[in-house]
Amino acid sequence: MKRYKDKSVRRQDLHVGDVTYKGVSRFKYLGCTVTDTNTRDEEIDTRIQSFLRCSAALHKVLTSRLLSRNTKLRIYKTVIRPILMYGCEAWTLTQKEESKLLVAERKVLRKIFGPRQRPDGSWRVLKNAELEDLMAGANIVGETKAHRLRWLGHLQRMGEDRSAKRAYMGRPTGCRPVGRPRYRWSDAVEADLRELQVVDWRETALDRQKWRSLVSEAKTHFGSLSQRSK
């Protein structure tokens, strides 16, 4: 499919046998938005909107004084946050996109934990480091990177005949545009593994127990609110 700068130009249709698929700029597949430029901006914005709508619907629950903070956090992690993280295993996040996710998460966490009273009796919103201490767990970025590594382990252990493994191992042919190659999913997960100082990750991925330990380490390493705020 060709890409056009002029959006008024019709994109080429795809012909597979006797079936013709209309050329479009974007479409929904299994709940995720796929674009012809393979970007995530629209998908992440859609996820954030759904995430905030869900938190707004549960506003009375999240701000209730009848529930403990631990109960509210459990509701957040099991009901609200999965909406934002749906399909995150396939994301390659830029710093701007990571910031978007963290800002959205902090909005809900500040709703859960409420403001803090100053000595003079006035109130202020909680700082990022205070949210980290109260949450006592990985933030949205740490969870996303851990999900990516978990999926990488699944891919490595898959049989060679599986479609996902073939897509991951495949190398497209043909000419690419002039300039720097696009940042790929494999580049992102391998950069995370280098930061975790994992030497032979392919061998480690074959051992499920070791890989689970690595995923847990990734949550702790990448999931610090204060670290991401620097």
Write out the chain's pLDDT in tens, 230 residues: 444 444 444 577 778 888 887 877 777 777 777 776 667 778 898 899 999 999 999 999 999 999 999 999 999 999 999 999 998 898 888 889 999 999 999 999 999 999 888 889 899 999 988 888 888 788 999 999 999 999 999 999 988 888 888 888 877 777 777 777 777 888 899 999 999 999 899 999 999 999 999 999 999 888 875 455 44
Query: Cα angle at 145 between 93 and 79, to 5 degrees?
Result: 100
Count Cβ atoms below 10 Å from residue 64 Cβ, excluding itself.
12
Report whether 5 contacts 14 (CB < 8 A).
Answer: no
Model-level pTM?
Answer: 0.81
For 189, the token pair is 């997960």
